[in-house]
Amino acid sequence: MPETKTLTIGLAGNPNCGKTTLFNALTGANQRVGNWPGVTVERKEGSYRYNGNAIAVVDLPGVYSLDAEDEETSLDELVARDYLLSGEADLIVNIVDASNLERNLYLTTQMLEMGVPMVIALNMIDVARKQGLRIDPAVLSERLGCPVIPTVASREEGIEILKEIIARQASNPSRLDRYVAYPAVIEEAIASLLPWLIERSPQGTVAPRWQAIKLLTYDNTAIPAAGGRELEKLVVEHRRQIHQVLGEDIDIIIADSRYGFIHQIATGAVEHSQEIKANISDKIDRVVLNRWLGIPIFLCVMYLMFLFTINISSAFIDFFDIAAGTIFVDGFGALLSKISTPEWLKVLLADGAGGGIQTVSTFIPVIGFLFLFLSFLEDSGYMARAAFVMDRFMRFIGLPGKSFVPMLVGFGCNVPAIMATRTLENQRDRLMTIAMNPFMSCGARLPVYALFAAAFFPVAGQNVVFGLYLVGIAIAIFTGLVLKNTLLQGQASPFIMELPPYHLPRLKGVLLRTWERLKGFMVRAGKVIVAMVIVLTLLGSIGTDGSFGNDNSEKSVLSSMSRTITPAFAPMGLEQDNWPATVGIFTGVLAKEAMVGTLDSIYGNLAQQDAIAAGQAPKEESFDFWGGLGEAFATIPANLAEVPGQLLDPLGLNIGDVQDTNVAAEEQEVAVGTFGAMSKRFDGKVGAFAYLLFVLMYFPCVAATGTVYRETNLRWTLFVAGWTTGLAYWSATMFYQIATFSQHPGSSTAWIVGLAVIMVGTIAALRIARPLCFPTLQTQKRERSLVSRR
């Protein structure tokens, strides 16, 4: 039996060249998604077997070149370049779009100069033929010095031949000997630097010729710390000579020489069999990108995405919620009770860990449907058009057009919206979009709005809810403008985007991409969510006397803490006896929709102590495992039947009949006495609206917070949590003090002036803190400035 071994290959190519489709064709479902070390760029890995050998496949980020300058603007280029230099891969498969051959070969020439062992997959050959292009793979192979395999990854044509070539080449890798010939003065400079670099570079790691070119083009990030000041002086002298002789910047000369090399390769390998005419993509774009029709079409597509992601997926949320609750909370709790598990351990495992799993599971349909729709848009080619259409508006805030899609998704759920920021290449754009996203009023807040509308605004409830949505949008824009001028100064990344041809998405590819992203959420954000749910559950269950089972009661530690903290909310209208509202704020951190249950339980308990106490008495014998699962399955057809009625209300702003308290209580699933208890403790409509402003803006739920942490880092997570909560307190207090100014003009004046000073001071502090928060960005800008002057 032949010896088996594991080979590693990397997939490299331009965006929209079919690289991900080829990755799926090679690996199937044997994939896993993580992050590259130190950055938030996705690292996708997979595997397959060929002739007894295990082949590990790494899907590199799609890049147009390897001319990385800094970590802030070129994360993808840095990741791809560093991987190619690491030697981790036995072979690189360069996917080249046959319909855009010369542009794609620019990346190929750079990898030739790096000396990496390579095979070229000439993909989308069918598209090239439709455009009247005939490409001879044999001629390309001869001129490039490496195998060239025609493929159509979307139909898995040429995949088996590619696997055979990969196995053969990866087993016996060899460096390629083709390179670009530059003008004589540059070649002399390269020849002068080679001895230095060969002597100081580890054998077989970095190609010295490529290193020399990088030194001459000011890209010191790719050069190891070797050579000292003497080498630096030599490089500066060569740069001066090149500019004196050629009269152009060296990077322009290098690029021009590479394109000349590419043109020579393509000449003779490519024939135009017919006149190039406008294709179907061009004809569609005349309508989709039309100055007057582009935005209406985009809004229609976004409406469909919102409808699909929120309204249709919501039909399955109850199933996951009830099923997970039955299995992991009630079922697991009943099992622990039967084996006489201590109460504290039952709370920890069933209510805490089980409740965390239940919380995570409720996001599965929303996230799954969102990424299903986004994958469809990406594969079809429309996503690039959507970014183009909205670019002008978003650039006012300091963001590219692509950031609009995650913002829109935030109206449904902030968790998938934050995850959707991965489509933004620039770290600055990602951070700003993530910071703005929590102000998009997600669907989980709507039950809270509806509850307060029924209690305080029975006549104009819907107007109040719609106003809260508008306030959220305004605060998000304000946040973007503040960050644009403080922590995240600078312009939005240049909007240069390829418009790929339209395709009919393939079901297999769409489902695989959706599954990868959904699994990523379950594994990454789920860990943080479950841990935070356990902590909040313990605080809500443990009594001040050390007992357990005090959920939503006055005896819990959480309630005691709330009574202690409530005076801090007095400036926004919460009095000491309204401590249940503070408990609601705490449970809202767990999940905003959990606030309704908390407020109903506590306010109802205050109004009808005996009835609520009787209703909350534990009845272990009433638990029915199969009945719970049956109820979960029964919710799917019942909820799907309501979807047609939601077509005219995609935001869910119809909160029902709030004028009749009995009907409203039934629709909101709360006790009638809850409304009276709330009205008694809040300071009328003003106090209620101030509270709603706080709920709109404050600390994101644990799911969103966990996702922010996974997508960024601890520092930015703390900033987002602090900024949203601080702005919520500032806005609610400012509104309440202005609205009640006539009742206490002296104290209100002090608060209004003080809050204005605090806001100005905060913005000034953010400007000062920028160099401390982003030192690498400042250093890199200074380095580029020195290089340009030099």
Q: Which residues contact 716 (CB under 8 A, 6 or more apart)?
A: 431, 434, 435, 708
DSSP line for 429-461:
HHHHHHHHGGGS--GGGHHHHHHHHHHH-TTTH
Return d(Cα 225, Cα 228) in angstroms, integer. Answer: 8
Question: What value, to the nearest 5°, has the Cα angle with vertex 411 and ends 406 and 414?
Answer: 60
Residue among 308, 300, 301, 423 nearest 366 (CA): 308
Return d(Cα 515, Cα 367) in angstroms, integer. Answer: 10
Q: Is 19 annotated as a binding residue?
A: yes
Q: Is 400 annotated as a binding residue?
A: no
Per the CB < 8 A criterion, the answer to whether 77 and 68 are in contact is yes
Q: Is 776 annotated as a binding residue?
A: no
Q: Is 16 annotated as a binding residue?
A: yes
Q: Give the count of beta carbons closer than 10 Å to the beta carbon of residue 200.
A: 16
Return d(Cα 350, Cα 49) in angstroms, integer. Answer: 42
Return d(Cα 307, Cα 312) in angstroms, integer. Answer: 7
Q: Which helix (H) or strand (E) holds 200?
A: helix 184-200
Supply 399's token pair. 């963001």
Per the CB < 8 A criterion, the answer to whether 549 and 343 are in contact is yes
Q: Is 79 annotated as a binding residue?
A: no
Residue among 779, 776, 774, 75 nearest 486 (CA): 774
**CB half-sphere exposure, 666, CA atoms < 13 A:** 5
Residue type at position 455: A
Q: Is 447 annotated as a binding residue?
A: no
Q: Give the count of beta carbons closer than 10 Å to the beta carbon of residue 389.
A: 22
Q: Is 654 annotated as a binding residue?
A: no
Q: How far is CA 515 from CA 408, 551, 566, in A?
A: 22, 36, 44
Q: Is 124 annotated as a binding residue?
A: yes
Direct distance between the N- and C-terminal alpha carbons of the chain, in angstroms, rounded to an integer? 62
Q: Is 202 annotated as a binding residue?
A: no
Return d(Cα 161, Cα 700) in angstroms, integer. Answer: 51
Q: Is 60 annotated as a binding residue?
A: yes
SS3 category, 341: coil
Q: Is 39 annotated as a binding residue?
A: yes
Q: Give the count of beta carbons closer than 10 Å to the beta carbon of residue 277.
A: 8
Supply 390's token pair. 């909205």
SS3 category, 48: strand
Q: Is 624 annotated as a binding residue?
A: no
Q: How far is CA 367 from CA 314, 409, 445, 519, in A?
A: 11, 10, 17, 10
Per the CB < 8 A criterion, the answer to whether 581 and 599 are in contact is yes
Q: Give the count of beta carbons closer than 10 Å to the beta carbon of residue 642.
A: 11
Q: Is 567 annotated as a binding residue?
A: no
Q: Is 412 annotated as a binding residue?
A: no
Q: Is 10 annotated as a binding residue?
A: no
Q: Is 195 annotated as a binding residue?
A: no
Q: Is 13 annotated as a binding residue?
A: yes
Residue among 715, 78, 770, 716 nearest 430 (CA): 716
Return d(Cα 34, Cα 56) in angstroms, integer. Answer: 15
Q: Is 650 annotated as a binding residue?
A: no
Residue type at position 552: N
Question: What value, to the nearest 5°, has the Cα angle with vertex 303 and ends 298 and 306?
Answer: 125
Return d(Cα 253, Cα 263) in angstroms, integer. Answer: 15
User: Cα dihedral sign for 21, 27, 28, 30?
Assistant: negative
Return d(Cα 358, Cα 132) in angstroms, integer. Answer: 55
Supply 363's token pair. 């996001």
Q: Which residues contact 184 (CB under 8 A, 6 or more apart)?
A: none
Q: Is 15 annotated as a binding residue?
A: yes
**Rg from Cα positions in the chain:** 30
Q: Which residues contact 362 (CB under 8 A, 6 or more apart)?
A: 317, 320, 321, 324
Per the CB < 8 A criterion, the answer to whether 744 and 737 are in contact is no
SS3 category, 669: coil
**Residues in binding site:** 13-20, 24-25, 27-28, 38-42, 59-62, 123-126
**Residues in binding site for Mg(2+):** 24-25, 27-28
**Residues in binding site for GTP:** 13-20, 38-42, 59-62, 123-126
